[in-house]
Amino acid sequence: MEALPSPPLRLDLIALEERLEASGWQPVVNAGVMLIVRKDHEATIYENGKVVLKSRDDAMMRRVWDELAPHLEATGGGSVARALGPG
């Protein structure tokens, strides 16, 4: 599943990685255009704000998205879409 901000953001992935790590997320890789982090589940976050969550559990994905969204907003300077959709 994926979540897309509307309009697209321009995330500071270095700042986002630091915020998420301070919140208990484990950075897996920061490739400059995408950041992969893991806590209970893995999330791939692109610099445009797109988030890909790997799971078939909708409730879990919504929980993870709700946890990630404030960090995206803080490092992207805008609000993010709250809806998840197939991807």
Q: What is the pLDDT of residues 15-59, one digit of tens each?
A: 999 999 999 999 999 999 999 999 988 999 999 888 998 888 888
- The ranges assigned to domains in the chain are 2-76
DSSP string, 51-64: EEE--S-HHHHHHH
CA atoms of 62 and 24, how far apart (whole Å): 18
Specify the fold of 2-76.
TATA-Binding Protein (3.30.310)
pLDDT tens digit string along 76-85? 766 665 544 5
Residues 5, 48 contacting (CB under 8 angstroms): yes
pLDDT of residue 80: 67
pLDDT of residue 87: 47
Could you tell me the pTM of the whole model? 0.85
